[in-house]
């Protein structure tokens, strides 16, 4: 019984960490854009979000550290892609509920 509770606690903590990583409007927007449009560069995000490269890079770094996105160099650009399917499910719930309430 204790092992089951510990296992459940570990899963709960992992889910909380995942949600903490996207519990920021900029990071939530970044993962939504990646889920919607696929892999993108930092330059794409700075242009469409009217934000500095430094700011976007810091947010993407946090998402990368959380295992939500990965980056690949393409010349002088870094291309980011969403790699955690759980985030896609969270986004589906959030955006589907948003569309229903409009």
SS3 letters for the chain? CHHHHHHHHHHHHHHHHHHHHCCCHHHHHHHHHHHHHCCEEHHHHHHHHCCCHHHHHHHHHHHHHCCCEEEEEECCEEEEEECCHHHHHHHHHHHHHHHHHC
Residue 96: per-residue pLDDT: 84
Q: What is the mean pLDDT of residues 48-75?
A: 93
Q: What is the mean pLDDT of residues 53-57?
A: 94
CATH architecture of 2-101: Orthogonal Bundle (1.10)
Residue range 5-40, pLDDT digits in tens: 777 888 899 889 999 999 999 999 999 999 999 999
Residue 102: per-residue pLDDT: 54
Whether pTM > 0.85 for this model: the answer is no
């Amino acid at each position: 019984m204790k092992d089951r509770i510990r296992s459940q606690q570990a899963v709960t903590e992992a889910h909380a960490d995942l949600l903490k990583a996207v519990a920021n409007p900029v990071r939530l927007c970044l993962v939504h854009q990646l889920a919607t449009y696929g892999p993108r560069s930092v330059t794409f995000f700075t242009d469409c979000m009217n934000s500095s490269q430094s700011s976007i890079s810091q947010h993407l770094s946090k998402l990368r550290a959380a295992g939500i996105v990965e980056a690949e160099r393409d010349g002088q650009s870094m291309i980011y892609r969403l790699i955690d399917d759980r985030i896609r499910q969270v986004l589906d719930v959030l955006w589907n509920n948003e569309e229903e309430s409009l």
